[in-house]
Amino acid sequence: MKKLFLFMLAAALALPAMAQEVEIVSKQRLLEGVEGPAYFPVLNPTGNRLLFSTEDGALKLHDFADGVTTVVTRDYVAGNDACFGGDNKVYFVTQQMGEDHLIYRTGQCFDVSTRQVAVVTSSQHGAVHAVPATRGGALRAPQQNYDSSTNIGEAVWTEESRVHVIVDGKERVFSPVDSWAGYLWASLSPDGKRVAFFAAGKGIVIIDLRGQMLAMLGNYEMPCWYNNDYLVAQNAKDDGHQFTSSQLLLLKADGTWQAELTKPVSMAMHPTCGGGKIVYSTIDGLLYEMKINIHE
């Protein structure tokens, strides 16, 4: 009788975890037969526009409403060096080698409405970060910064082992976990209350706007907010020379649950979310769009 009671208790405790699941509603190939290999996709928050990099590093913009793909720049843009601002513009960083054989980076802005590109920072040696903000965009660099307006709203970015957060026009800087190799891929939750970022050697970290650590989600890469409660991330493995597997995972923001969205053999990577969509690329440059339902 005691064993039966213990079994029933264990089963009851397991029910919440068992009841939660994710359903893949649809998955389709994007731009098939229209574009060549595409990498580092970036959706805008409403999911109606998509940035991506070509095989030679050019930056393109696809509009889902009219199906038109526009070349933003044919100059080289490294992966993750482009973002949508909250002002209907795209902020990106081009790079070229100078006569001294050093890499120089230039901050630029593309107006989606007019299709015009403007150079907003001078060419400079060193890291330049394109930063999305709720009311505009910014570029952060050691020599010259740029803000699209005096009030760009809320924004987050990383530099070395620091997370920078702008709230109510004031910048806050946090280092909540030790990471000798630094932080990457910071993003603000849709409700603007939490920040996710990747700490090398530690994995995905969730903090609040005061820098207090809320959760650690595992040693996965490239986290992006699906909604206020869930994130999508890349789980890639390598042998020291090349990737051996890569998949997408759905992670609950409090660290209590996760599920596979793709299998490791799918070689899926570079996830981005917006408007209820998940877009990702494969290692050979195929773009896919996925839609899901989360049952709780």
Residue by residue, pLDDT tens for the chain (296 residues) are 444 444 444 444 444 444 689 999 999 999 998 899 999 999 999 999 999 999 999 999 999 999 999 999 999 999 889 999 999 999 999 999 989 999 999 999 999 999 999 999 999 999 999 999 999 999 998 888 999 999 999 999 999 999 999 998 899 999 999 988 999 999 999 999 999 999 999 999 999 999 999 999 999 999 999 999 999 999 999 998 999 999 999 999 999 999 999 999 999 999 999 999 999 999 999 999 999 999 98
Backbone angles phi, psi at 141, to 5 degrees: -155, 155
Task: Fill in the DSSP letter of residue 210.
Answer: T
Show Cβ contacts of residue 4 under 8 Å, excluding neighbours closer than 6 positions: none
Q: Which of 142, 138, 137, 144 is nearest to 122 (CA)?
A: 144
Distance CA 95, CA 167 (A): 30
Cα(86)–Cα(64) distance, integer angstroms = 18
User: Could you tell me whether strands 183-188 and 194-199 are parallel, antiparallel, or unpaired per DSSP bridges?
Assistant: antiparallel
Query: How many Å apart are CA 36 and CA 58, to the nearest integer?
Result: 12
Question: CA-to-CA distance for 213 and 95, rounded, in angstroms?
Answer: 35
Q: What 3-state DSSP class applies to 176?
A: coil
Contact 79, 55 (CB under 8 A): no
* CB-CB contact of 82 with 99 (8 Å): no
Start-to-end CA span in the chain (Å): 32
Question: At a CB cut-off of 8 Å and minimum separation 6, what does 3 contact?
Answer: none
